[in-house]
Each structure stands twice: as C-alpha cells, then as structure tokens.
A and B are shown apart, each in its own frame.
Chain A
Amino acid sequence: MDGPVIQTQELTKRYGDFVAVDRLNLVVEPGEVFGLLGPNGSGKTTTILMLLGLTEPTSGTVRVMGLDPARQPLSVKSRVGYIPDQVGFYDDLTARENLIYIAKLNGIPREEAYRRIDEALEQMGLKEVADRPVGTYSRGMRQRLGVAEVLIKRPSLIIMDEPTLGLDPEAAREFLNTIRDLKAQGITVLVASHLLHQVQAVCDRVGLFHRGRMVLEGTVEALARQVLGGGYRVYVEAVGPQAAILEALRRLPDATKAEAMGSERYMVEGRRDLRGEAARAVVEAGGSLRALQLEEPSLDDVYARYFQEVEHGREG
C-alpha cells in the first residue's frame, strides 16, 4: 500500500466550548507501532473515534488508508480493527459465538468465517476455551479475545485503546508481545494509553498528548534527548568523600548534570552511557564504588519534565 495508513490535518473536535482535540497533525506509516500517549481526558479516545468515523470532526481532515471515515465508514471499518477501552463481550455467549456474530456483521461468508475464527482463536491461545461462555474469562483472556475478534477481518490497521489497563504485570507483558507479533505480521498498530512506561517498549514512535494537543512526537530516544537533554541517567552508590566524588562526576565529559541523592547515592545525567567513566571517577576521587545502575530514558520522565518546563515557562 502506498502512502501513510493514517493522516490527519488540523483535525479538531469541540464539544461546546471544550476542545477535545486541537489541530492534530498525525501521520502513521505502514507497519509501524505508534503510541498515542497521554493522561486520561487528553483527547486520545476522541481521536480514535474520529479515525473510525464513530464521531465527526468539527474541522480538519482525516484519511485512513486514503479513505475519509466520515464518508466511507463501512470501507474504513471493514479494514480497521478496533479494540476499545475495557472491551466488552456478550457474557452469556461463548467466545466462538461472539466471534461468529462479528463475522456476520462483517459479511464474511460462513465457511470462510469459521476458518478465520479457528485461526484467530488458535493464534491468541484461546482454542481450548473457545466454547466456554465469555463470562468465565479473565481480563487478560478477554483482551486476547479482543485481538482475535479484530483478526477475523484481516485488518491492515489495529487500533487499541488502553490495552494493558487492568492487566496484571505478567498479562500486560504477554499482551505487549502480542502487539510485537502483530507488527511482525505487517499490521500497523495504533496504541492509545496513559501507562507510558508499559507501552513505550513496543512503540516505534510515540505522540504525547496534553489537553487535546499532540505536543511531542518522535521515537522514545529522540524525545528523551530532546526533553531530558541527556537521556541517559546513571545512579552511583559509593562510600567516600562526598564533595570530591560529586565534583569528579560533574567534570565528566558529556555529563549534563550530577547531584547527590542522600549521603551515598549520586545521579549523573549524560548524553551517552557514562557508567565506565563514572566508575573510574569515583575511584580516582578516593571513594569505593558499591553499585552502578543505568536508567533507560523513560517516557514518564519525558512527560513529567516536559510539562514541568511548560508550566515554568508559563509562570516565567
């Protein structure tokens, strides 16, 4: 397929005076996993609803696979899989019956539908429990059933809203692996979430939302570099003369910041991984090194820092 999977221009949605989505320009390329990240109420779900044609934009344009969701909602919805926030199923029906209903709504011929349903359930590891009522399913299983459901329409784009919310850490990790598998199959995935640290691991690129605006966009590393300055943070635990150690750490090349955190802990931020240099510096300053830990740039930090600066900027 040519061109971006999703393209919006100056997309805006207002509810009365409240601007839910403000002049959004979003481009998602085929085959990538894009994270739509931000706190609750920052416009992620509204954006998704506009992408699916479930709500109409106030102004601006949306193209999903080159189609306008407001004018060609059926074509868009038959190519896009949507897994809503806290996906719900008919509890008294079995997983298979739930999927059969969806296949019928998609107009998939019966034979073909049964084949695709079997495949999808197999792929999501639900084959054994396919004929149990969904009411007996755990949250993780429901989430996987959600994926199985969208797979039966063979989508080229899957949109997920808060897919890991309410999952235990193990189930969440498994689910992130599922997203990687989908990407490996060549499916473009758009993930909306406020659990930044969970989804950052699977996203090729992310867009950070704040009050209806996408304020930052790019790869996690690029954002970390841009916002955190360094992006690499090393925690040092050392015993010895505090002033000397801190001074040595500050003078490291490529270090942007160093500070003491308590009597035996230090933090160094740098433009690259400074663990080796930091270890040497501590020893040369007469200290003895106890522990050294690299913290990868985290989106939570990026987000917190960025808005700290925005708020400061506004006050100053």
Chain B
Amino acid sequence: MAARVEPGRISREGSPWTGLWAVVAKEMADYLTGIRMLILEMLAVLTAAGTVFMAAESLRTTVGQDRFLFLRLFTVQRDPLPAFIGFLAFLVPLIAIALTFDTVNGEFNRRTLSRVLAQPIYRDALLFGKFLAGLFTLTLVLTAIWLLVFGMGLARLGVPPGGEEVARSLLFLLATIFYGGVWLALALLFSVRFRQPATAALASIAVWLFFTVFWGIIAQGLAQILVPLRYGLVQEVLAQDQVAQALARLSPITLYSEVMMALLYPSLRAFGLVGVLLQFQEGVIVGAPLPLSQSLLLVWPQLTGLIAATVLLFAISYILFQRQEIRA
C-alpha cells in the first residue's frame, strides 16, 4: 500500500488553551515560593523604600507648591540615591529575565517536558501559561512596590494624592508591566532557543546590557553618519536629532523612558532635544501641564511599540517551540 499523507490543513481538535490555567497556577506557585524571587523582591523593596524615602524627605519642604507632588516621589532624586524611576528601569528587566530564562530549557533538562506534553494539552498552553505566569508575578511584585510608594508618600508627605496623580501613576505602573513583558518574552525566547539555562541567562543579559549601555551611543553615531552637520544650521541639528531618536526608539529602554517621562512630567510636550533638556532641568519647564489624555496621546506609539515588541518576541518563541523536537 502506498504511503498516504492527508492533504490540506490539519484541523486540530479542542482549544489550544486546554490546561492553560493549570500551567499558570503551577508556574506562579513556583515563582512565588522560589528563593530567586525572594532575593529579587527584597532588592526591589529595599531600593523602592530607600529612594522614595529620600525623595519624600526632599519634597517635604515644597508641599503645597507643586500640583503633582506625588508624581515627584517617583522622579525626584537626592544624593546618594538616584531617582526611583532610574532604579526601576534597571531592576524590571533583571526581575523579568530571572523569571523566565530557564523556564523551558529547565523542564527539558529535568526531563519533565516530554511527560507534561504527553498530557492532553497543546504546546501553546504550556508556553503561553509560562509567559502569563511570569507576567502575573511581575504585576504582583510591581503593584506591591507601587502601593509601598504610595503608602510611604501618604505617611511622609501628609497630603492625599489627587485623582489625576493616581491615574497617571497607575498608567505608569501599567507601562512598567508592559516593559517587563518585553524582557519576559526575550528571556522566554532564549529559554526555548538555548538548551543550557546559563547560556539563555547570559544571552538575555547581553541584550539588556547592549540596549542599556551601547545602543544610545550607537544611535547617536549612526545619526551623525546618516545626517552629517554640514553648515551647523539649527535645522540640521534638529534633523540629526530626529534620526537619532528614531534609531534609539528601537530599544525598549528608550520607549519605556519616554512613556515614563510623559506620564510623570505632565508638562512634557516633546521628546528629543527639548525632552533631554527637560529631563535634566526639571522645574524650569515653561507652560502649563498637559491634560492626561494629551500626555497619553504623546506616548501612545511608544506604548503600542512595547506591546508589539512583546508580541513579536513571544511569536518567535512560539514558532521555535512548535518546531522543536522534544525527544529527550
């Protein structure tokens, strides 16, 4: 009898999400009880408490002068500690990478992967469940830190936050979670791609370092090559800055910091040269603060960019995982 292959698409029975919540529950339990998470949470809480305490101390003198006092809690820095947002941009990728860098290859190495996939679930559920569990864990940790900041603010400043402040800082929390999602998806991708968890961790950290340290410099350099300053005109300087900005926005760190700026500095109207100026010389901003909807509009592309990056990275890991031979 001749070999026969079914023609056309193979339609699969049942939902691809069968068993999803079982995976999410199990992974979250693992994350939340693991020593690794305990260390990271302590680190995060310590830095949050430290920076916000210092910020509150310096803000106590200006109570009543600033309409957005609570937002200052996140952004004001006082030596020797940097501002809270600086720490967050640094810590969130670290926590996210630590959550997922060994999630798939770890199962492979413990030889549990084939056993789990022999259960009536699809691979979709396993991978997405792992990602969701990471995202939920991250949300939990970040929300806890956010509440801590607000609580300390109430206690130290003695004034309640206004409605718009709460809304802005909640959106900031949401953006931070999306930002963490990018790094979760990146580490997940490497955990599918590399069999050794150490390799996956190193690769994730390498990407993170690249964007943190080098990408800004490279973007500047590339902009100078692409749009050289011939006559030193203002238009040229601005054009070059635009290109540099566009390149820099390929980095999730740039996207996140822009979202952060727009949400936490209500008077911010533009990024780039002006934005950079404002970033370092707060307090001298001229003009009235923007309404929340306008600030949101300003960073809408950045927010969607963060989500798109997450989706893209997850899609790549999904394809790799589907194609992977799972034989031990």
Interface residues of A (CB under 8 A from B): 9-10, 12, 23, 45-46, 49, 52, 54-55, 59-61, 70-75, 77-78, 80-91, 101-102, 104-107, 146, 149
Give the CA-CA distance A157 to B117 in the complex, in Å.
Answer: 17
Query: Is B114 an interface residue when CB atoms closer than 8 A count as contact?
Result: yes
Number of interface residues of B (CB under 8 A): 33
Question: B7 in the interface, Cβ–Cβ < 8 Å?
Answer: no
User: Which residues of A are found within 8 Å of B10, using beta-carbon distances?
Assistant: 70-71
**Which of B10, B11, B115 has the most A CB atoms < 10 Å from its CB?**
B115
Interface assignment of B4: CB less than 8 Å from any CB of chain A = yes
Q: Decide if A105 touches B5 in the complex (CB within 8 Å).
A: no
**Could you tell me the distance between the alpha carbons of A88 and B112 in the complex, rounded to whole angstroms?**
5
Most chain B CB neighbours (cut-off 10 Å) among A70, A88, A105:
A105
* B110, B114, B121, B325 — most chain A CB neighbours (10 Å): B114
For the complex formed, measure the closest distance between the CB of A24 and the CB atoms of chain B, giving whole angstroms: 11
Query: Taking the nearest CB of chain A, how far is it from the CB of B4, in angstroms?
Result: 6
Contact A74 B120 (CB under 8 A): yes
Task: Establish whether residues B115 and A105, one from each chain, have CB atoms under 8 Å apart when the complex forms.
Answer: no
Chain B proximity of A111: nearest CB distance (Å): 16
Q: Within B1-38, which residues are at the interface with A (CB < 8 Å)? A: 1-6, 10-14, 18-19, 22-23, 25-26
Chain B residues lying within 8 Å of A82, measured Cβ to Cβ, are: 114-115, 118
| B12 interface neighbour in A10, A12, A73, Cβ under 8 Å | A73
Q: Known: A73-B122, A88-B110. Is A104-B19 also a contact (CB below 8 A)?
A: yes
The answer to whether residues A10 and B110 also contact, given A72-B13, A82-B118, A105-B121 and a CB cut-off of 8 A, is no
Report how far A91 CA is from B112 CA in the complex, Å.
10
Q: Considering the chains assembled together, what is the distance between the CA atoms of A85 and B326 in angstroms? A: 12
The verdict on B111 contacting chain A, using a C-beta distance below 8 Å, is yes
| Contacting pair B115 A87 (CB below 8 A) | yes
Out of B3, B12, B25, B114, which one reaches A60, CB within 8 Å?
B3
Q: Knowing that A71-B6, A71-B12, A105-B120 are A-B contacts, what are 14 other residue pairs whose CB atoms are under 8 Å apart, sorted by A's residue number?
A: A45-B327, A54-B114, A61-B4, A72-B13, A74-B14, A74-B122, A78-B119, A78-B120, A84-B118, A88-B112, A89-B110, A105-B19, A105-B22, A105-B121
Task: Flag if A55 contacts B325 (CB, 8 Å).
Answer: yes
A226 to B209, CA, bound (A): 67
Interface core residue of A60, A71, A88, A91 (most chain B CB under 10 Å) = A88
Q: Are B13 and A71 neighbours in the complex by a CB distance under 8 Å?
A: yes
Looking at the assembled complex, report how far the CB atom of B250 sits from the nearest CB atom of chain A, in whole angstroms. 36
Residues on the B chain within 8 Å of A80, using CB: 118
Question: Within 8 Å of chain A (Cβ to Cβ): is B116?
Answer: yes
Whether the pair B5, A89 counts as a contact (CB closer than 8 A) is no
Closest chain A residue, CB of each to CB of B25? A104
Chain A residue at minimum C-beta to C-beta distance from B13? A72
Query: With the chains together, A60 CA to B3 CA distance in Å?
Result: 5
The answer to whether B328 has its CB under 8 Å from any CB of chain A is: yes
Cα of A49 to Cα of B6 in the assembled complex, Å: 19
